Protein backbone atom coordinates (compact mmCIF):
# COMPACT_ATOMS: atom_id res chain seq x y z
CA UNK A 1 0.00 0.00 0.00
CA UNK A 2 2.30 2.80 -1.22
CA UNK A 3 1.25 6.44 -1.00
CA UNK A 4 0.82 6.64 -4.77
CA UNK A 5 -1.58 3.67 -4.97
CA UNK A 6 -5.38 3.83 -5.15
CA UNK A 7 -5.50 1.43 -2.16
CA UNK A 8 -3.69 3.96 0.00
CA UNK A 9 -5.77 6.89 -1.22
CA UNK A 10 -8.92 4.90 -0.40
CA UNK A 11 -7.48 3.97 2.99
CA UNK A 12 -6.53 7.55 3.76
CA UNK A 13 -9.88 9.08 2.69
CA UNK A 14 -11.76 6.66 5.00
CA UNK A 15 -9.20 7.30 7.73
CA UNK A 16 -9.48 11.08 7.32
CA UNK A 17 -13.26 11.17 7.75
CA UNK A 18 -13.31 8.80 10.69
CA UNK A 19 -10.37 10.66 12.30
CA UNK A 20 -11.91 14.14 12.12
CA UNK A 21 -15.62 13.38 12.28
CA UNK A 22 -16.07 10.21 14.35
CA UNK A 23 -13.03 9.68 16.58
CA UNK A 24 -12.43 13.35 17.37
CA UNK A 25 -14.36 12.94 20.65
CA UNK A 26 -11.13 13.23 22.56
CA UNK A 27 -7.41 12.98 21.92
CA UNK A 28 -7.09 9.52 23.52
CA UNK A 29 -9.61 7.93 21.16
CA UNK A 30 -8.09 9.75 18.19
CA UNK A 31 -4.63 8.46 19.16
CA UNK A 32 -5.93 4.93 19.55
CA UNK A 33 -7.44 5.20 16.08
CA UNK A 34 -4.09 6.34 14.61
CA UNK A 35 -2.41 3.36 16.27
CA UNK A 36 -4.94 0.84 14.92
CA UNK A 37 -4.62 2.42 11.44
CA UNK A 38 -0.81 2.26 11.62
CA UNK A 39 -1.01 -1.45 12.49
CA UNK A 40 -3.41 -2.10 9.60
CA UNK A 41 -1.17 -0.10 7.26
CA UNK A 42 1.94 -2.01 8.33
CA UNK A 43 0.19 -5.40 8.29
CA UNK A 44 -0.74 -4.73 4.65
CA UNK A 45 2.97 -4.87 3.87
CA UNK A 46 3.91 -7.82 6.03
CA UNK A 47 1.89 -8.75 9.13
CA UNK A 48 4.70 -11.01 10.46
CA UNK A 49 6.97 -8.06 11.11
CA UNK A 50 4.23 -6.26 12.98
CA UNK A 51 5.17 -8.46 15.96
CA UNK A 52 8.73 -7.21 15.76
CA UNK A 53 7.55 -3.61 15.70
CA UNK A 54 5.21 -4.19 18.65
CA UNK A 55 7.87 -6.12 20.60
CA UNK A 56 10.46 -3.42 20.08
CA UNK A 57 7.95 -0.75 21.15
CA UNK A 58 6.96 -2.62 24.35
CA UNK A 59 10.60 -3.07 25.40
CA UNK A 60 11.47 0.59 24.82
CA UNK A 61 8.29 1.90 26.45
CA UNK A 62 9.13 0.19 29.76
CA UNK A 63 12.83 0.83 29.39
CA UNK A 64 12.14 4.56 29.17
CA UNK A 65 10.13 4.51 32.40
CA UNK A 66 12.71 2.41 34.31
CA UNK A 67 15.53 4.63 33.06
CA UNK A 68 13.76 7.78 34.19
CA UNK A 69 12.97 6.33 37.63
CA UNK A 70 16.49 5.09 38.24
CA UNK A 71 18.77 7.43 40.18
CA UNK A 72 21.71 5.03 40.30
CA UNK A 73 24.30 5.97 37.64
CA UNK A 74 25.36 2.37 37.06
CA UNK A 75 21.76 1.21 36.56
CA UNK A 76 21.06 4.09 34.22
CA UNK A 77 24.08 3.22 32.12
CA UNK A 78 23.06 -0.44 32.08
CA UNK A 79 19.52 0.39 30.95
CA UNK A 80 20.74 2.79 28.26
CA UNK A 81 23.19 0.20 26.90
CA UNK A 82 20.40 -2.38 26.92
CA UNK A 83 18.22 -0.03 24.83
CA UNK A 84 21.07 0.59 22.40
CA UNK A 85 21.90 -3.10 22.21
CA UNK A 86 18.29 -4.01 21.56
CA UNK A 87 17.91 -1.45 18.75
CA UNK A 88 21.30 -1.88 17.15
CA UNK A 89 21.11 -5.67 17.65
CA UNK A 90 17.89 -5.80 15.64
CA UNK A 91 19.44 -3.71 12.91
CA UNK A 92 22.61 -5.79 12.92
CA UNK A 93 20.72 -9.06 12.65
CA UNK A 94 18.34 -8.04 9.88
CA UNK A 95 20.54 -5.67 7.95
CA UNK A 96 24.17 -6.49 8.49
CA UNK A 97 24.57 -10.10 9.66
CA UNK A 98 25.08 -11.63 6.22
CA UNK A 99 27.42 -8.86 5.18
CA UNK A 100 29.70 -9.45 8.16
CA UNK A 101 29.67 -13.22 7.74
CA UNK A 102 30.55 -12.94 4.04
CA UNK A 103 33.23 -10.32 4.66
CA UNK A 104 34.83 -12.44 7.41
CA UNK A 105 34.68 -15.50 5.17
CA UNK A 106 36.51 -13.63 2.41
CA UNK A 107 39.04 -12.22 4.85
CA UNK A 108 39.82 -15.61 6.40
CA UNK A 109 39.84 -17.29 2.99
CA UNK A 110 42.54 -14.87 1.83
CA UNK A 111 44.72 -16.29 4.65
CA UNK A 112 43.73 -19.83 3.66
CA UNK A 113 41.49 -20.30 6.73
CA UNK A 114 38.01 -21.80 6.45
CA UNK A 115 35.40 -19.75 8.38
CA UNK A 116 32.44 -22.03 9.08
CA UNK A 117 29.55 -19.70 9.76
CA UNK A 118 26.66 -19.70 7.34
CA UNK A 119 24.68 -16.80 6.04
CA UNK A 120 20.93 -16.95 6.60
CA UNK A 121 18.05 -16.07 4.38
CA UNK A 122 16.58 -12.94 5.99
CA UNK A 123 14.03 -10.47 4.65
CA UNK A 124 14.58 -6.91 5.78
CA UNK A 125 11.55 -5.77 7.80
CA UNK A 126 10.19 -2.64 6.15
CA UNK A 127 10.90 0.58 8.01
CA UNK A 128 13.19 -1.06 10.59
CA UNK A 129 16.00 1.49 10.08
CA UNK A 130 13.57 4.31 10.70
CA UNK A 131 11.59 3.06 13.69
CA UNK A 132 14.71 1.70 15.40
CA UNK A 133 16.33 5.13 15.17
CA UNK A 134 13.21 6.58 16.79
CA UNK A 135 13.38 4.18 19.74
CA UNK A 136 17.13 4.77 20.20
CA UNK A 137 16.56 8.51 20.13
CA UNK A 138 13.86 8.15 22.81
CA UNK A 139 16.15 6.22 25.19
CA UNK A 140 19.14 8.53 24.65
CA UNK A 141 17.05 11.68 25.23
CA UNK A 142 15.74 10.27 28.52
CA UNK A 143 19.29 9.33 29.51
CA UNK A 144 20.41 12.91 28.83
CA UNK A 145 17.45 14.21 30.90
CA UNK A 146 16.17 16.10 27.89
CA UNK A 147 12.71 14.53 27.96
CA UNK A 148 10.52 12.70 30.44
CA UNK A 149 9.10 9.39 29.25
CA UNK A 150 5.43 9.21 28.37
CA UNK A 151 3.28 6.94 30.56
CA UNK A 152 0.73 6.53 27.80
CA UNK A 153 1.60 3.44 25.75
CA UNK A 154 -0.66 4.52 22.87
CA UNK A 155 1.29 7.77 22.54
CA UNK A 156 4.60 5.95 22.61
CA UNK A 157 3.52 3.34 20.04
CA UNK A 158 2.29 6.14 17.81
CA UNK A 159 5.64 7.89 18.11
CA UNK A 160 7.39 4.71 16.93
CA UNK A 161 4.90 3.58 14.30
CA UNK A 162 3.10 6.70 13.00
CA UNK A 163 1.98 5.37 9.63
CA UNK A 164 2.75 8.36 7.35
CA UNK A 165 6.41 8.25 8.40
CA UNK A 166 6.74 4.59 9.39
CA UNK A 167 8.29 3.15 6.24
CA UNK A 168 10.74 5.81 5.16
CA UNK A 169 10.82 8.67 7.64
CA UNK A 170 11.31 11.54 8.26
CA UNK A 171 12.76 10.39 11.59
CA UNK A 172 11.21 12.63 14.21
CA UNK A 173 12.77 13.31 17.59
CA UNK A 174 10.58 12.51 20.63
CA UNK A 175 10.86 16.07 21.99
CA UNK A 176 9.10 17.50 18.95
CA UNK A 177 6.68 14.69 18.11
CA UNK A 178 5.37 13.30 21.41
CA UNK A 179 3.96 16.66 22.63
CA UNK A 180 1.91 16.81 19.42
CA UNK A 181 0.33 13.46 20.32
CA UNK A 182 -0.50 14.72 23.80
CA UNK A 183 -2.48 17.79 22.82
CA UNK A 184 -5.82 18.12 21.09
CA UNK A 185 -5.53 18.71 17.35
CA UNK A 186 -7.90 20.72 15.25
CA UNK A 187 -8.32 20.83 11.52
CA UNK A 188 -7.24 24.14 9.97
CA UNK A 189 -8.55 24.75 6.46
CA UNK A 190 -5.48 26.68 5.21
CA UNK A 191 -3.12 24.12 6.67
CA UNK A 192 -5.14 21.36 4.98
CA UNK A 193 -4.98 23.10 1.59
CA UNK A 194 -1.25 23.60 1.96
CA UNK A 195 -0.83 19.93 2.89
CA UNK A 196 -2.68 18.93 -0.29
CA UNK A 197 -0.34 21.19 -2.28
CA UNK A 198 2.66 19.43 -0.74
CA UNK A 199 1.18 15.99 -1.50
CA UNK A 200 0.50 17.06 -5.10
CA UNK A 201 4.09 18.23 -5.50
CA UNK A 202 5.33 14.96 -4.00
CA UNK A 203 3.20 12.97 -6.45
CA UNK A 204 4.55 15.02 -9.36
CA UNK A 205 8.16 14.51 -8.29
CA UNK A 206 7.74 10.78 -7.79
CA UNK A 207 5.35 9.77 -10.58
CA UNK A 208 6.35 12.16 -13.35
CA UNK A 209 10.03 12.82 -12.77
CA UNK A 210 11.49 9.94 -10.72
CA UNK A 211 9.55 7.10 -12.37
CA UNK A 212 10.22 8.44 -15.87
CA UNK A 213 13.93 8.89 -15.11
CA UNK A 214 13.98 5.27 -13.90
CA UNK A 215 13.22 4.00 -17.38
CA UNK A 216 16.34 5.66 -18.81
CA UNK A 217 18.63 5.08 -15.86
CA UNK A 218 17.65 1.37 -15.81
CA UNK A 219 18.47 1.14 -19.50
CA UNK A 220 21.83 2.89 -19.11
CA UNK A 221 22.92 1.08 -15.92
CA UNK A 222 21.74 -2.36 -17.06
CA UNK A 223 23.61 -2.08 -20.37
CA UNK A 224 26.39 0.33 -19.54
CA UNK A 225 28.98 -1.64 -21.52
CA UNK A 226 27.06 -0.67 -24.68
CA UNK A 227 27.20 3.09 -24.12
CA UNK A 228 29.86 5.77 -24.45
CA UNK A 229 31.19 7.71 -21.44
CA UNK A 230 29.10 10.81 -22.09
CA UNK A 231 25.86 8.75 -22.05
CA UNK A 232 27.00 7.10 -18.80
CA UNK A 233 27.55 10.58 -17.35
CA UNK A 234 24.05 11.58 -18.50
CA UNK A 235 22.79 8.42 -16.77
CA UNK A 236 24.38 9.56 -13.51
CA UNK A 237 22.85 13.06 -13.73
CA UNK A 238 19.45 11.52 -14.44
CA UNK A 239 19.85 9.10 -11.55
CA UNK A 240 20.67 11.93 -9.11
CA UNK A 241 17.47 13.72 -10.18
CA UNK A 242 15.56 10.42 -9.88
CA UNK A 243 16.89 9.70 -6.39
CA UNK A 244 16.09 13.21 -5.19
CA UNK A 245 12.58 13.24 -6.67
CA UNK A 246 11.87 9.72 -5.44
CA UNK A 247 12.90 10.34 -1.83
CA UNK A 248 11.97 14.00 -1.43
CA UNK A 249 8.69 13.23 -3.24
CA UNK A 250 8.02 10.49 -0.70
CA UNK A 251 8.93 12.88 2.15
CA UNK A 252 6.59 15.58 0.78
CA UNK A 253 3.76 13.04 0.75
CA UNK A 254 4.59 11.79 4.26
CA UNK A 255 4.72 15.34 5.63
CA UNK A 256 1.57 16.31 3.70
CA UNK A 257 -0.49 13.36 4.99
CA UNK A 258 0.74 14.08 8.53
CA UNK A 259 -0.30 17.72 8.19
CA UNK A 260 -3.77 16.61 7.11
CA UNK A 261 -3.91 14.82 10.47
CA UNK A 262 -2.78 17.97 12.31
CA UNK A 263 0.88 16.99 12.81
CA UNK A 264 4.05 18.89 11.97
CA UNK A 265 6.67 16.42 10.88
CA UNK A 266 10.31 17.42 10.58
CA UNK A 267 11.57 18.63 7.20
CA UNK A 268 13.69 16.12 5.27
CA UNK A 269 15.01 18.13 2.30
CA UNK A 270 15.91 21.73 1.73
CA UNK A 271 16.63 21.99 -2.00
CA UNK A 272 19.92 20.06 -1.79
CA UNK A 273 20.92 20.63 -5.40
CA UNK A 274 21.29 24.35 -4.72
CA UNK A 275 24.03 23.54 -2.19
CA UNK A 276 27.27 25.39 -2.80
CA UNK A 277 29.66 22.99 -1.09
CA UNK A 278 29.56 19.52 0.42
CA UNK A 279 28.80 20.73 3.97
CA UNK A 280 25.94 22.81 2.60
CA UNK A 281 24.66 19.71 0.77
CA UNK A 282 24.55 17.61 3.96
CA UNK A 283 22.62 20.37 5.73
CA UNK A 284 19.97 20.00 3.02
CA UNK A 285 19.82 16.27 2.17
CA UNK A 286 17.92 13.71 4.27
CA UNK A 287 17.96 16.22 7.13
CA UNK A 288 16.20 14.01 9.68
CA UNK A 289 18.86 11.27 9.34
CA UNK A 290 21.81 13.66 9.32
CA UNK A 291 20.54 15.52 12.37
CA UNK A 292 20.03 12.19 14.15
CA UNK A 293 23.62 11.17 13.38
CA UNK A 294 24.88 14.65 14.28
CA UNK A 295 23.20 14.49 17.66
CA UNK A 296 24.16 10.95 18.66
CA UNK A 297 27.39 10.25 16.75
CA UNK A 298 29.11 13.41 15.58
CA UNK A 299 28.54 15.56 18.67
CA UNK A 300 29.81 13.04 21.28
CA UNK A 301 32.73 12.16 19.00
CA UNK A 302 33.74 15.74 18.32
CA UNK A 303 33.47 16.53 22.05
CA UNK A 304 35.65 13.54 22.94
CA UNK A 305 38.21 14.53 20.27
CA UNK A 306 38.11 18.28 20.94
CA UNK A 307 41.71 18.41 22.13
CA UNK A 308 42.95 17.38 18.68
CA UNK A 309 41.52 20.47 16.97
CA UNK A 310 41.16 20.04 13.20
CA UNK A 311 42.37 16.43 13.18
CA UNK A 312 39.73 15.56 15.78
CA UNK A 313 37.06 17.27 13.70
CA UNK A 314 38.16 15.43 10.55
CA UNK A 315 38.05 12.06 12.35
CA UNK A 316 34.58 12.82 13.78
CA UNK A 317 33.19 13.89 10.41
CA UNK A 318 34.67 10.96 8.46
CA UNK A 319 33.33 8.44 11.02
CA UNK A 320 29.94 10.17 11.02
CA UNK A 321 29.58 10.17 7.23
CA UNK A 322 30.89 6.60 6.94
CA UNK A 323 28.19 5.50 9.40
CA UNK A 324 25.70 7.46 7.34
CA UNK A 325 26.81 5.35 4.35
CA UNK A 326 26.52 2.10 6.34
CA UNK A 327 23.01 3.09 7.46
CA UNK A 328 21.90 2.61 3.84
CA UNK A 329 22.82 -1.05 3.95
CA UNK A 330 25.45 -3.70 4.21
CA UNK A 331 27.52 -3.07 1.14
CA UNK A 332 31.07 -1.92 0.59
CA UNK A 333 29.77 0.62 -1.91
CA UNK A 334 27.71 2.41 0.76
CA UNK A 335 30.67 2.42 3.14
CA UNK A 336 32.82 3.85 0.36
CA UNK A 337 30.14 6.46 -0.44
CA UNK A 338 30.05 7.67 3.18
CA UNK A 339 33.83 7.62 3.56
CA UNK A 340 34.37 9.64 0.36
CA UNK A 341 31.77 12.21 1.43
CA UNK A 342 33.51 12.48 4.81
CA UNK A 343 36.84 13.07 3.06
CA UNK A 344 35.29 15.78 0.89
CA UNK A 345 34.87 17.84 4.08
CA UNK A 346 38.63 17.88 4.71
CA UNK A 347 39.48 20.86 2.42
CA UNK A 348 36.68 22.88 4.08
CA UNK A 349 38.01 22.06 7.55
CA UNK A 350 41.60 22.84 6.61
CA UNK A 351 40.86 26.20 4.99
CA UNK A 352 38.46 27.19 7.78
CA UNK A 353 35.36 27.63 5.60
CA UNK A 354 33.35 24.80 7.16
CA UNK A 355 31.36 27.12 9.42
CA UNK A 356 30.66 29.71 6.76
CA UNK A 357 27.00 29.32 5.83
CA UNK A 358 26.36 29.60 2.12
CA UNK A 359 23.52 31.96 1.37
CA UNK A 360 21.29 31.91 -1.68
CA UNK A 361 19.85 35.03 -3.33
CA UNK A 362 16.53 36.13 -1.84
CA UNK A 363 13.23 36.11 -3.71
CA UNK A 364 13.27 35.78 -7.47
CA UNK A 365 16.85 37.01 -7.87
CA UNK A 366 19.16 34.93 -10.03
CA UNK A 367 22.37 33.44 -8.61
CA UNK A 368 25.71 35.13 -9.25
CA UNK A 369 28.15 33.41 -11.61
CA UNK A 370 30.20 32.24 -8.61
CA UNK A 371 27.13 30.82 -6.85
CA UNK A 372 26.04 29.11 -10.06
CA UNK A 373 29.48 27.62 -10.56
CA UNK A 374 29.66 26.43 -6.93
CA UNK A 375 26.21 24.86 -7.23
CA UNK A 376 27.11 23.12 -10.49
CA UNK A 377 30.42 21.78 -9.15
CA UNK A 378 28.83 20.55 -5.91
CA UNK A 379 25.97 18.97 -7.84
CA UNK A 380 28.42 17.23 -10.18
CA UNK A 381 30.45 15.94 -7.22
CA UNK A 382 27.29 14.53 -5.64
CA UNK A 383 26.13 13.09 -8.97
CA UNK A 384 29.45 11.27 -9.42
CA UNK A 385 29.17 9.68 -5.99
CA UNK A 386 25.64 8.37 -6.59
CA UNK A 387 26.69 5.50 -8.90
CA UNK A 388 27.07 3.32 -5.80
CA UNK A 389 23.34 3.65 -5.08
CA UNK A 390 22.35 2.40 -8.49
CA UNK A 391 24.96 -0.31 -9.02
CA UNK A 392 24.40 -3.82 -7.69
CA UNK A 393 27.80 -3.96 -6.02
CA UNK A 394 31.02 -2.08 -5.53
CA UNK A 395 32.78 -3.80 -8.44
CA UNK A 396 30.01 -2.80 -10.83
CA UNK A 397 30.17 0.82 -9.64
CA UNK A 398 33.95 0.91 -10.17
CA UNK A 399 33.56 -0.56 -13.69
CA UNK A 400 30.88 2.03 -14.44
CA UNK A 401 33.21 4.85 -13.39
CA UNK A 402 36.11 3.39 -15.37
CA UNK A 403 34.07 3.09 -18.56
CA UNK A 404 32.54 6.52 -18.06
CA UNK A 405 35.82 8.39 -17.59
CA UNK A 406 37.70 6.47 -20.29
CA UNK A 407 34.88 6.96 -22.77
CA UNK A 408 34.03 10.60 -22.11
CA UNK A 409 35.92 11.82 -25.13
CA UNK A 410 35.73 8.77 -27.36
CA UNK A 411 34.80 9.17 -31.02
CA UNK A 412 31.11 9.85 -31.65
CA UNK A 413 30.40 9.82 -27.89
CA UNK A 414 28.36 13.03 -27.89
CA UNK A 415 26.59 12.18 -31.14
CA UNK A 416 25.46 8.95 -29.48
CA UNK A 417 24.37 10.80 -26.33
CA UNK A 418 22.41 13.25 -28.47
CA UNK A 419 20.72 10.32 -30.24
CA UNK A 420 19.96 8.81 -26.83
CA UNK A 421 18.27 12.07 -25.83
CA UNK A 422 15.98 11.71 -28.83
CA UNK A 423 15.20 8.08 -27.91
CA UNK A 424 11.73 7.56 -26.48
CA UNK A 425 11.25 11.31 -25.92
CA UNK A 426 13.94 11.60 -23.26
CA UNK A 427 14.42 15.16 -24.46
CA UNK A 428 10.85 15.89 -23.32
CA UNK A 429 11.71 14.58 -19.86
CA UNK A 430 14.89 16.69 -19.77
CA UNK A 431 12.85 19.83 -20.59
CA UNK A 432 10.35 18.89 -17.84
CA UNK A 433 13.27 18.49 -15.41
CA UNK A 434 14.63 21.92 -16.35
CA UNK A 435 11.22 23.53 -15.73
CA UNK A 436 11.00 21.57 -12.47
CA UNK A 437 14.40 22.93 -11.36
CA UNK A 438 13.25 26.48 -12.17
CA UNK A 439 10.12 26.02 -10.04
CA UNK A 440 12.27 24.63 -7.23
CA UNK A 441 14.57 27.67 -7.53
CA UNK A 442 11.72 30.16 -7.26
CA UNK A 443 10.15 28.21 -4.40
CA UNK A 444 13.35 27.60 -2.44
CA UNK A 445 12.32 29.84 0.46
CA UNK A 446 9.25 27.75 1.22
CA UNK A 447 9.00 24.37 2.91
CA UNK A 448 8.44 22.86 -0.54
CA UNK A 449 8.70 24.41 -3.98
CA UNK A 450 5.04 25.15 -4.75
CA UNK A 451 4.04 26.25 -1.25
CA UNK A 452 3.77 29.86 -2.37
CA UNK A 453 3.97 29.33 -6.11
CA UNK A 454 1.28 31.40 -7.83
CA UNK A 455 -0.15 32.52 -4.50
CA UNK A 456 -0.51 36.07 -5.82
CA UNK A 457 -2.03 34.97 -9.12
CA UNK A 458 -5.75 35.06 -9.72
CA UNK A 459 -7.44 31.91 -8.43
CA UNK A 460 -8.16 30.54 -11.93
CA UNK A 461 -4.49 30.78 -12.98
CA UNK A 462 -3.37 29.00 -9.81
CA UNK A 463 -5.92 26.25 -10.31
CA UNK A 464 -4.82 25.93 -13.94
CA UNK A 465 -1.29 25.30 -12.65
CA UNK A 466 -2.47 22.58 -10.21
CA UNK A 467 -4.58 21.05 -12.98
CA UNK A 468 -1.52 20.98 -15.27
CA UNK A 469 0.39 19.08 -12.58
CA UNK A 470 -2.52 16.62 -12.24
CA UNK A 471 -2.67 16.12 -16.00
CA UNK A 472 1.06 15.48 -16.07
CA UNK A 473 0.64 12.92 -13.28
CA UNK A 474 -2.19 11.23 -15.17
CA UNK A 475 -0.81 11.28 -18.71
CA UNK A 476 2.95 11.18 -18.18
CA UNK A 477 3.23 8.78 -15.28
CA UNK A 478 6.34 6.67 -15.56
CA UNK A 479 6.20 2.91 -15.09
CA UNK A 480 5.48 2.31 -11.39
CA UNK A 481 8.70 1.94 -9.37
CA UNK A 482 9.11 1.05 -5.71
CA UNK A 483 10.36 3.94 -3.56
CA UNK A 484 14.15 3.62 -3.50
CA UNK A 485 14.52 4.42 0.19
CA UNK A 486 12.15 1.60 1.24
CA UNK A 487 15.04 -0.84 0.94
CA UNK A 488 17.17 1.08 3.44
CA UNK B 1 32.20 35.37 40.10
CA UNK B 2 28.57 36.44 39.61
CA UNK B 3 26.22 34.71 37.21
CA UNK B 4 25.79 37.85 35.10
CA UNK B 5 29.52 38.34 34.88
CA UNK B 6 29.95 34.80 33.54
CA UNK B 7 27.13 35.35 31.08
CA UNK B 8 28.89 38.50 29.81
CA UNK B 9 32.18 36.66 29.30
CA UNK B 10 30.40 33.80 27.49
CA UNK B 11 28.60 36.39 25.36
CA UNK B 12 31.92 37.85 24.21
CA UNK B 13 33.22 34.33 23.45
CA UNK B 14 30.14 33.69 21.29
CA UNK B 15 30.71 36.98 19.44
CA UNK B 16 34.34 36.03 18.73
CA UNK B 17 33.80 32.41 17.73
CA UNK B 18 30.63 32.92 15.71
CA UNK B 19 31.89 36.21 14.25
CA UNK B 20 28.58 37.91 14.93
CA UNK B 21 28.80 41.15 16.99
CA UNK B 22 25.01 41.30 17.36
CA UNK B 23 24.70 38.27 19.63
CA UNK B 24 22.98 39.05 22.95
CA UNK B 25 22.74 35.99 25.15
CA UNK B 26 20.23 35.46 27.92
CA UNK B 27 19.88 32.42 30.16
CA UNK B 28 17.10 31.11 27.93
CA UNK B 29 19.04 31.35 24.66
CA UNK B 30 19.47 27.97 22.96
CA UNK B 31 21.11 26.75 19.75
CA UNK B 32 17.93 27.07 17.69
CA UNK B 33 17.91 30.84 18.31
CA UNK B 34 21.31 31.69 16.82
CA UNK B 35 21.86 30.79 13.18
CA UNK B 36 25.63 30.33 13.39
CA UNK B 37 25.40 28.09 16.47
CA UNK B 38 25.26 24.55 15.09
CA UNK B 39 26.81 21.20 15.90
CA UNK B 40 30.12 22.23 14.30
CA UNK B 41 30.52 25.55 16.10
CA UNK B 42 29.18 24.11 19.36
CA UNK B 43 32.44 22.26 20.05
CA UNK B 44 34.49 25.37 19.23
CA UNK B 45 32.39 27.36 21.70
CA UNK B 46 32.86 24.75 24.42
CA UNK B 47 36.64 24.68 23.87
CA UNK B 48 36.80 28.49 24.03
CA UNK B 49 34.76 28.57 27.28
CA UNK B 50 36.97 25.86 28.82
CA UNK B 51 40.13 27.79 27.90
CA UNK B 52 38.82 31.10 29.20
CA UNK B 53 37.76 29.76 32.61
CA UNK B 54 40.51 27.11 32.76
CA UNK B 55 38.01 24.35 33.42
CA UNK B 56 37.11 21.02 31.84
CA UNK B 57 33.57 19.77 31.25
CA UNK B 58 32.63 16.13 30.96
CA UNK B 59 31.05 14.94 27.75
CA UNK B 60 27.78 14.23 29.60
CA UNK B 61 27.65 17.76 31.03
CA UNK B 62 28.11 19.34 27.60
CA UNK B 63 25.38 17.22 26.06
CA UNK B 64 22.89 17.81 28.85
CA UNK B 65 22.72 21.64 28.48
CA UNK B 66 19.39 22.80 27.17
CA UNK B 67 20.24 26.50 27.13
CA UNK B 68 22.90 29.08 28.02
CA UNK B 69 21.64 29.24 31.61
CA UNK B 70 22.62 25.62 32.17
CA UNK B 71 26.04 26.23 30.60
CA UNK B 72 26.56 29.19 32.97
CA UNK B 73 25.51 27.00 35.94
CA UNK B 74 28.09 24.39 34.93
CA UNK B 75 30.80 27.08 34.72
CA UNK B 76 29.86 28.46 38.15
CA UNK B 77 29.94 25.00 39.65
CA UNK B 78 33.40 24.30 38.20
CA UNK B 79 35.06 27.57 39.20
CA UNK B 80 33.62 27.34 42.71
CA UNK B 81 35.50 24.06 43.27
B39 with A146: Cβ contact below 8 A: no
pLDDT at position A482 over 80: no
Mean pLDDT of A411-419: 83
- List pLDDT tens digits, range A19-66: 999 999 999 999 999 999 999 999 988 888 999 999 999 999 999 999
Set of chain A residues whose Cβ sits within 8 Å of the Cβ of B46: 303, 306
The alpha carbon of residue A46 and the mean position of all alpha carbons in its chain are separated, in whole angstroms, by 21
Report pLDDT for A454: 86
B40, B60, B64, best to mutate vs chain A, most A CBs in 10 Å: B40
- List pLDDT tens digits, range A344-359: 999 999 988 887 778 8
Complex ipTM = 0.88
A146 with B60: Cβ contact below 8 A: no
In this prediction, residue A308 has a pLDDT band, given cuts at 50, 70 and 90, of very high
Provide the shortest C-alpha distance from residue B10 to chain A (in Å): 18
The span from the CA of A396 to the CA of A249, in Å, is 28
- Least Cα distance to A421 among A413, A432, A429 occurs for A429
Report pLDDT for A207: 95
In this prediction, residue A157 has a pLDDT band, given cuts at 50, 70 and 90, of very high
Choose among B36, B41, B46: nearest Cβ to A303: B46
| A328 has catalytic annotation | yes
Provide the shortest C-alpha distance from residue A282 to chain B (in Å): 13
The span from the CA of A256 to the CA of A194, in Å, is 8
- List pLDDT tens digits, range A216-275: 999 999 999 999 999 999 999 999 999 999 999 999 999 999 999 999 999 999 999 999
Report pLDDT for A487: 67
- Cis preceding-peptide flag for A170 (omega within 30 of 0): yes
Set of chain A residues whose Cβ sits within 8 Å of the Cβ of B43: 299, 302-303, 306, 313
Choose among B38, B40, B59: nearest Cβ to A303: B59
Listed as own residue / partner, the contacts of A420-429 with beta carbons closer than 8 Å and 24 or more positions apart are A420/A227, A420/A231, A420/A234, A421/A234, A424/A215, A424/A216, A426/A216, A429/A209, A429/A212, A429/A213, A429/A216
B35 and chain A: CB distance < 8 Å anywhere?
yes
A362 and chain B: CB distance < 8 Å anywhere?
no
Query: For all residues of chain A together, what is the average pLDDT?
Result: 92
DSSP-assigned states of every residue in A360-402 = ---TTPPPPHHHHHHHHHHHHHHHHHTHHHHSSSHHHHHHHHH
Phi-psi region of A329 (alpha: psi -120 to 50; beta: other; left: phi over 0): left
Report pLDDT for A416: 85
- List pLDDT tens digits, range B21-76: 999 999 999 988 998 888 888 998 999 999 999 999 998 889 888 899 999 999 99
Report pLDDT for B69: 95
pTM of the model: 0.90
CB A288 within 8 A of CB A268: yes
A302 with B43: Cβ contact below 8 A: yes
Provide the shortest C-alpha distance from residue B59 to chain A (in Å): 6
Closest residue in A to B38 (Cα–Cα): A355
pLDDT at position A104 over 70: yes
pLDDT at position A484 over 80: no
Amino acid sequence: MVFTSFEFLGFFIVFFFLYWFVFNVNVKIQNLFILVSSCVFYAFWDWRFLLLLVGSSIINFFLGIFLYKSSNDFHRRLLTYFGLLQGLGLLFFFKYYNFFVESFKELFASFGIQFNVHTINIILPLGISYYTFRTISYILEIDKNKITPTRDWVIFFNYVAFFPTLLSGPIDKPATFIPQLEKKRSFEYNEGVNALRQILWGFFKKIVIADNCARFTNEIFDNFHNYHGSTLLLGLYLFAIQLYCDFSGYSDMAIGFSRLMGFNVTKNFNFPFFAQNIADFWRRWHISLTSWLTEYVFTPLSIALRDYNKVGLIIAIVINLTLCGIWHGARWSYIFFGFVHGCLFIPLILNGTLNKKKLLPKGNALPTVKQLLDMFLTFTLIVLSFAVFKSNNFHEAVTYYAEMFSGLFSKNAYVETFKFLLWENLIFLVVTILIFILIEWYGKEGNFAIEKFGIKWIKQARWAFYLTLLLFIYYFAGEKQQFIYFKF
Amino acid sequence: MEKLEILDIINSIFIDVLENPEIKLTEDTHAGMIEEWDSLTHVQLVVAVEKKFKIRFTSKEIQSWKNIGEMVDSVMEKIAK
